[in-house]
C-alpha cells in the first residue's frame, strides 16, 4: 500500500482581482505549505472505494482525482483509498484539495508516470482550485483560480500558529458576502519580497486577505482571535483562505508555542508547525 502526506496550506495573502466571465473569482495569492497533514494510503482493488476516519461525501475529491486522471491516461485499475483526516473542514487550510493532490502523486508513482508531470498539473487544475499548488507543494504565488503557479524561494525558517474557531466558514458563502460588501486588496508580491528577505515587520505590513471582512460577518469568532494575536505582539497574523483559521507567522517557534497555550484552552484546533520550503 502506497502512502503520502497531504500537507495543509495557508494563504499568507489573498487578493481578489475581479470576477471572470465564467463566474469564478480571479485570484492572486501567496500560498505556503505547512507541516500539518492528512495521511492518504492507496492500493489497487477490484472496485473504487474510500475509507476515512470521518464521513466524506460520495463525490469527494479523492474519487474525483482518480477519475480525472483516468480520463487522461486511460488506466483501468481501481483503488481502495484510506484517508486519515487531521486537517479540519471549513478551515481555509485546503484539506480536501491536499487529499486530492496526494492521490495524484500516488497515481503517478503507482502507474510509473513520472515523465507526465505537465499532464498531472493540468489534471490537478481540473480537479479543483488550489490542487495544482498542493500537488507541487512548495511556496508559490498563485493566480487565476489557483492554476497558475510562480515558485517563491524562502531563505528563512518560519513557523506558523494555527487557531481555528469552533465553527467554520462556507467558501461559497464567503465569496457571496465579498460580492456584497467588498474587501481589502493586499499587494501579494510585496509580501513575497518581505518573506524572501526575512522581514517580519514587512510581512505584518503587507499581508492581507480580500475575504476577511466577509468572513468576519459570517463567523464572529475570527476577528477577536486576530485581535488577540496582535495584542500578544504577533503582528504577522491573518486569516487563511475563506476562513475560519487564523494564523500568525514568526521566526521563533517558542513565541508561538506560548501563544498556543492560551488559545488551546478555548478552541478545538490549534497547532504550531513549520512552513515548508
Contact 38, 87 (CB under 8 A): yes
Name the nearest CA neighbour of 29 among 88, 97, 77. 97
Cell numbers of 205, please? 505590513
Cell numbers of 213, please? 471582512
Given the residues 9, 85, 177, 260, the one annotated as active site = 9
Contact 102, 94 (CB under 8 A): no
For the CA atoms of 200, 204, 267, 185, the dihedral, rounded to the nearest 10 degrees, stands at: -140
Which DSSP category does 109 fall into? H
Contact 158, 200 (CB under 8 A): no
Contact 208, 185 (CB under 8 A): yes
Distance between first and last Cα of the chain? 27
Cell 515587520 locates to 201
Cell numbers of 240, please? 487563511
Given the residues 130, 164, 177, 260, the one annotated as active site = 130
- Angular region, 233: left φ>0, alpha ψ -120 to 50, beta rest: left
Active site residue 38: no
Active site residue 261: no
* Residues known to be catalytic: 9, 130
Amino acid at each position: 500500500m502506497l502512502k503520502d502526506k497531504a500537507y495543509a496550506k495557508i494563504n499568507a495573502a489573498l487578493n481578489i482581482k475581479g470576477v471572470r466571465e465564467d463566474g469564478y473569482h480571479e485570484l492572486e495569492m501567496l500560498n505556503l505549505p505547512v507541516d500539518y497533514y492528512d495521511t492518504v494510503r492507496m492500493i489497487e482493488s477490484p472496485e473504487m472505494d474510500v475509507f476515512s476516519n470521518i464521513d466524506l461525501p460520495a463525490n469527494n475529491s479523492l474519487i474525483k482525482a482518480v477519475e480525472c486522471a483516468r480520463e487522461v491516461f486511460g488506466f483501468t485499475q481501481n483503488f481502495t483509498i484510506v484517508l486519515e483526516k487531521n486537517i479540519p473542514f471549513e478551515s481555509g487550510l485546503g484539506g480536501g484539495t491536499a487529499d486530492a493532490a496526494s492521490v495524484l502523486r500516488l497515481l503517478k508513482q503507482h502507474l510509473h508516470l513520472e515523465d507526465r508531470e505537465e499532464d498531472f498539473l493540468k489534471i490537478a487544475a481540473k480537479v479543483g482550485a488550489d490542487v495544482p499548488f498542493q500537488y507541487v507543494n512548495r511556496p508559490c504565488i498563485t493566480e487565476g483560480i489557483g492554476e497558475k503557479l510562480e515558485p517563491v524561494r524562502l531563505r528563512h525558517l518560519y513557523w506558523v500558529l494555527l487557531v481555528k474557531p469552533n465553527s467554520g466558514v462556507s467558501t461559497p458563502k464567503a465569496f457571496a458576502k465579498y460580492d456584497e460588501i467588498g474587501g481589502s486588496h493586499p499587494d501579494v508580491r510585496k509580501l513575497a519580497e518581505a518573506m524572501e528577505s526575512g522581514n517580519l515587520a514587512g510581512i505584518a505590513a503587507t499581508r492581507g486577505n480580500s475575504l476577511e471582512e466577509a468572513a468576519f460577518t459570517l463567523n464572529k469568532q475570527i476577528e477577536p482571535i486576530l485581535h488577540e494575536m496582535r495584542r500578544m505582539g504577533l503582528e504577522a497574523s491573518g486569516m487563511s483562505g475563506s476562513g475560519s483559521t487564523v494564523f500568525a507567522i514568526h521566526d521563533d517557534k517558542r513565541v508561538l508555542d506560548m501563544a498556543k497555550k492560551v488559545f488551546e484552552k478555548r478552541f478545538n484546533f490549534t497547532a504550531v508547525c513549520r512552513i515548508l520550503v
